[in-house]
Structure 1
């Protein structure tokens, strides 16, 4: 995966580059500090994915992403931020970012997120789980994970890893039809509306562990 980093803080850029270069499947093509540099970098390097700071000094990373897409940039965009403001997350979802990751995330969580996004799925940091719930249907506080059967819990963990029904069926040795039934039961029992909420729930509850492979 070919990646560029857009952040106005040198230490953050270098730290991200160091984490990403530890993985053979990821290559950092370049760095940018503002929107103008970023647009030049997008056009010259044609990355697969761009990590973009939510706030680039006095500029908006979300505005940058919006403008880049208008100009035909087709790479995936992942927002990096220390903000847990609801309006920031909601706007990021509205413009269709591929990922939203808090800067407090562990390196292995970032790598996990980028791998999920690289497979064509979206990833929202578990730290913004409450925001997702508030922007959609709220979770019923009386519905707990203890209501799940052991197999449903296994499926929930796989959802938390961003796996598709096919991936889950292979991992758990069950049919895709059975996976779909389990997913439906999980959503109903936990009061969740979709797979994204289920994945976030699994991470927020600490069910998913991360392992970094070089």
Structure 2
């Protein structure tokens, strides 16, 4: 029996994904999580074969969930769902160890194929997604200023935008306050920003948080 964990902060989305998963023989939903921190805890407890996780999760985003599970040497595969068409997301997903990536709008059509591929040890990215992201990357490559934020830096920017202090971020990400401050300063330097308000606007623009 293959175990699937579903993580999304919207109950209606979790219900829809559960319905698709439970129609398949020998697949069961091992649990549901409404934020990234809960997704990690449930994954460690239930040890699912696959974690389906929304990119824009509260507290800890989907990429950080994947990165944390990899760091803990979990053999669970991660399938990221996103509403957002951004080549940076795919780049960061691959760097975070993600081997499955779908637009939410494609989930009904491609979810089963994606899970089957991951269960077989194969990555799954829809051809339309890859073509679009490669096209966007080629358009934006020349003249693109600045450096990409790392997955950890994005997680810290997300938590800042959600109103967390450096101390509470250190507790959520299990980092020292000094390390959080360093990542925060690095992210602001990369983005050419000097205030928390600018970071919040960046997080909203990049769909790290929902205003």
Band of TM-score, shorter chain: 0.5 to 0.7
Question: Cα deviations across residues 16-63 of structure 1 (Å, max 9, x unaligned)?
Answer: 001110011311110011122112201111100100110103532101
- How many residue pairs get aligned? The number is 138
Question: Cα deviations across residues 132-175 of structure 1 (Å, max 9, x unaligned)?
Answer: 5348899xxxxxxxxxxxxxxxxxxxxxxxxxxxxxxxxxxxxx
* Residue in 1 that maps onto 2:52: 51
* Residue in 2 that maps onto 1:21: 22
Query: What SS does structure 1 have at the residue aligned with 2:106?
Result: coil
CA contact (8 A) 2:82 2:103 kept: yes
Rounded to whole Å, the distance in 2 between the matches of 1:64 and 1:49 is 12
Query: What SS does structure 1 have at the residue aligned with 2:67?
Result: helix
Q: Which has the larger radius of gyration?
A: 1
Rounded to whole Å, the distance in 1 between the matches of 2:62 and 2:92 is 11
Rounded to whole Å, the distance in 2 between the matches of 1:28 and 1:114 is 13
CA contact (8 A) 2:37 2:59 kept: no
CA contact (8 A) 2:7 2:54 kept: yes
Rounded to whole Å, the distance in 2 between the matches of 1:36 and 1:116 is 26
CA contact (8 A) 2:52 2:78 kept: yes
Question: Cα deviations across residues 43-100 of structure 1 (Å, max 9, x unaligned)?
Answer: 1111001001101035321012111211222200110111111111111122221200
CA contact (8 A) 2:67 2:97 kept: no
Rounded to whole Å, the distance in 2 between the matches of 1:65 and 1:116 is 17
- Kindly report the root-mean-square deviation, in angstroms, between the aligned alpha carbons of the 2 structures: 2.1
Give TM-score scaled by structure 2 length. 0.60
Q: How far is 1:106 from its partner?
A: 4.8
Rounded to whole Å, the distance in 2 between the matches of 1:25 and 1:17 is 14
CA contact (8 A) 1:89 1:131 kept: no
More helix by share: 2
Give unpaired runs (5+ residues) of structure 2: 140-211
Give TM-score scaled by structure 1 length. 0.59
Q: 1:96 to 1:39 in 2, by over 3 A?
A: closer
Query: What SS does structure 2 have at the residue aligned with 1:80?
Result: strand
Q: 1:86 to 1:25 in 2, by over 3 A?
A: same
